[in-house]
Amino acid sequence: MGTRLLSETLVRERFPHLRYVRIHTSGKQTATIYAWDDQLELRAEDQASLLKFAAAYLTPFVCFKVKPYGSTREERIPAAPEVPDFVVEAAMNRSLDLHDIIDVVDRMLAGGHISFERYDRNNATVHLTIRSSLPISAIERELLGLYLYELLPLGTQPDVQYI
Domains of the chain, first to last: 4-74 (3.30.300), 85-162 (3.30.300)
Residue 1's pLDDT is: 61
Mean pLDDT, residues 104-115: 92
The more confident residue out of 60 and 51 is 51
DSSP string, 81-135: PP--HHHHHHHT-TT--HHHHHHHHHHH-TTEEEEEEEEETTTTEEEEEEEESS-
Give the Cα separation of 60 and 133 in Å (integer).
Answer: 38
pTM tops 0.85: yes
Backbone angles phi, psi at 45, to 5 degrees: -70, -35
- Average pLDDT over the chain reads 94
Mean pLDDT, residues 76-100: 94
Q: At residue 139, does pLDDT exceed 90?
A: yes
